[in-house]
Amino acid sequence: MPDDEGHPSVEEIELGPVLSALADPLRRRVVRELAAEPDGAARTCSSFGLPVSKATVTHHFRALREAGLIRQVDRGNSRMASLRRADIEQRFPGLLGIVAAEPQE
């Protein structure tokens, strides 16, 4: 069962929701940028500079969080996002490497 913030446990991360979240190019961009950061790095949602409204940014990050790709933590008046690298590698070995290797648009 997902925690209070909507993060599924490692065992609950399923391929369908992960692939659905990654189907959007902006969400792949977020995952690609987080994958390029050191393990455990966290960034604010606004630091990605997504060319969409704040409400749409919130939607994209919720999709990534509920799929199990990122973990979000409240930090004052913003939320920090970090890649669940070890969890994704455990469930789907090599998937993050494929996303990280995709040419940027």
Q: Match 């990122």 to its residue by tokens.
A: 70
Integer Rg of the chain from CA = 13
Q: Which two tokens stand for residue 104?
A: 């940027």
Contact 70, 87 (CB under 8 A): no
Q: What is the pLDDT along the chain (105 residues), one digit of tens a residue?
A: 767 777 999 999 999 999 999 999 999 999 999 999 999 999 999 999 999 999 999 999 999 999 999 999 988 888 999 999 999 999 999 999 999 999 876
Listed residue (98, 94, 20) closest to 64, CA to CA: 20
**CA distance readout (Å), 100 to 1, 2, 12, 28, 30:** 29, 26, 23, 9, 10
Q: Which two tokens stand for residue 9?
A: 């446990």
- State the pTM of this model: 0.93
Q: Which two tokens stand for residue 21?
A: 């979240």
